[in-house]
Amino acid sequence: MSAALELKDVTKIFGSVKAVNKLNLTIEQGECFSFLGPSGCGKTTTLRMIAGFENLDEGELYSGGKLFSSSYKHYYLPPEKRDFGMVFQAFAVWPHMTVYDNVAFPLKIKKLPKNEIAERTEMALKATSLTKEAEMFPQKLSGGQQQRIALARAVAINPKVMLLDEPLSNLDPHLREEMRFEIKALQDKFGFTVIYVTHDQAEAMALSDRMLVMKEGVVQQVGGPLDIYNDPANKFVFSFIGLSDFIPVKVKNGQIFVDGGEECGPVNGDIPKNLDPSIEYDIACRPSEIDFAPDGVRAQVVRRTYLGDIVDYLLKIGNVELRVQKPRRHSTAQLGETCHLRFNRLLWYDRKEETASKT
C-alpha cells in the first residue's frame, strides 16, 4: 500500500524566512499524525503545501503514490483535485446557509448526483450529531457545534486524508477534550488519514499514533508520543513536551553537585561517560520523576500548590529553583520544611542549548 503522504525535501521560503526547511516525511494510510511545535515554526505552511494552497520552493509531495507537487517538474495539482478534507481554527462556516447547505455545498460544486449529495450530507450530519440542527443557521449554534459543521463538511466529501489546523483552539477546555474523542471516533468510522496541527502538546499526545516536533522550520524529532516523551532528541523537545526541570550542575570527584547549591550535598544519578569538560551542563528531569526521600540532595519548600489531585512544589536547592509534582496521597513535604530529593532518569544537556518558551 502506498503512503498516504510522502514529503521529500519540502521547503518553503518567505523572503528571508525559511518557513519549512527540507522536510522529509512519510505518513501511512490510516495514521493519526500530528505536527507539533511553537507558534511560527512552520506547521500551517506545511499543511498548506500539502493541501495545495502553497507551491513548494523545493521538493516533491506524493499522495497514494501519485505526484501532487514538484518544484523540479513545476507541477502542482490544484487543491480541489486533491480531495482532502480540511478544517481550520476559525469556524469557517457560511453564515447565510443552513447547517445542511453548509455541508452539502461542496458536493454541489462537485456536481454530484442529487441523491448522492443528500445521502452523503445526511450521513455526515449524523456522524457529527447535527441531524437535529440541519435547518438552523450557524450563528444560532455554539462554537463547538459550528466546528462540527466544518467537520461534517470535510467528512461529506469522503476524503482519504483529513487536514486539521488547530481545529479546537477556539473552544473551551472541556469541549476541546470531548471533540478530540469525536475526531478519533470519526477517523475509526471512516478510516481516513488524519494530519493534525497543534501547538498543544497534550492534544498531540492524546490523539496521535505518531507526531513530529518542529522548530523554526526544521524537524527535531518524529516518533510515537511516548517515545518522544521518554526519549527526546534534544533539550528543545524535552522542554516542549510536558513539564521540565533544568538544573545547572558541576561534577566533582565523580559526584554531581548543583551549581549554586554545593552545600546541599550531591545529587544521585549516573554521570555519562562522554561529558565534555569544556561544556557546562544542566541536568533535566520531569517534576513527576523527582521523589521526596529520607536521604539525597537537600532542598527547601518555598511554595506548595494544590492542583486537584496533584501537589505542585516549588523547591530551592541552594539558590536554584525546581518544581516537583506528587500525587496528593504521596505528598508529605510542608511549606518551609527542609527535605531530601532523589532523582529518577536524569538527562544531560549543554546549558547553552535552547529550550522552548511555552506561552
Ligand X SMILES: Nc1ncnc2c1ncn2[C@@H]1O[C@H](COP(=O)(O)OP(=O)(O)O)[C@@H](O)[C@H]1O
- Residues interacting with Mg ion, by CB under 5 A? 44
Could you tell me the smallest distance in angstroms from the CB atom of residue 44 to Mg ion?
A: 3
Cβ proximity to ligand X: between 53 and 94 the closer is: 53
42 interacts with ligand X by CB under 6 A: yes
Q: Considering the complex, state which of residue 7 and residue 41 has its C-beta at the smaller distance from Mg ion.
A: 41
Q: Which is nearer to Mg ion, 44 or 146 (CB)?
A: 44
Among 7, 31, 32, 45, binds ligand X (CB under 6 A): 45
Among 235, 240, 215, 236, residue whose Cα is nearest residue 225: 240
153 C-beta neighbours (distance < 10 Å), count? 26
Q: Which of 5, 23, 36, 41 binds ligand X (CB under 6 A)?
A: 41
Among 100, 104, 87, residue whose Cα is nearest residue 130: 100
To Mg ion, the closest distance from the beta carbon of 43 in angstroms equals 5
CB of 35 or CB of 343, closer to ligand X? 35
The closest of 257, 221, 216 to 238, measured between CA atoms, is 221
Piece of 41-49, 101-109, 179-187, 264-272 that binds ligand X (CB under 6 A): 41-49
3-state secondary structure labels for all residues of 149-208: HHHHHHHHCCCCEEEEECCCCCCCHHHHHHHHHHHHHHHHHHCCEEEEEECCHHHHHHHC
Q: How far apart are CB 214 and Mg ion at their closest, in Å?
A: 11
Q: Residue 102, interface with ligand X (CB under 6 A)? A: no
CA-closest candidate to residue 247, choices 307, 338, 315: 315
Q: Find all residues with CB under 8 Å of 58, minimum gap 6, and list them.
A: 9, 10, 11, 22, 71
Judged by CB, which is closer to ligand X: 38, or 265?
38
Q: How far is the CB of 81 from ligand X (least distance, A)?
A: 23
Give, as ranges, the residues between 3 and 32 that touch ligand X (CB under 6 A): 14, 17, 19
> Residue numbers of the site for ligand X (CB under 6 A)?
14, 17, 19, 37, 39-45
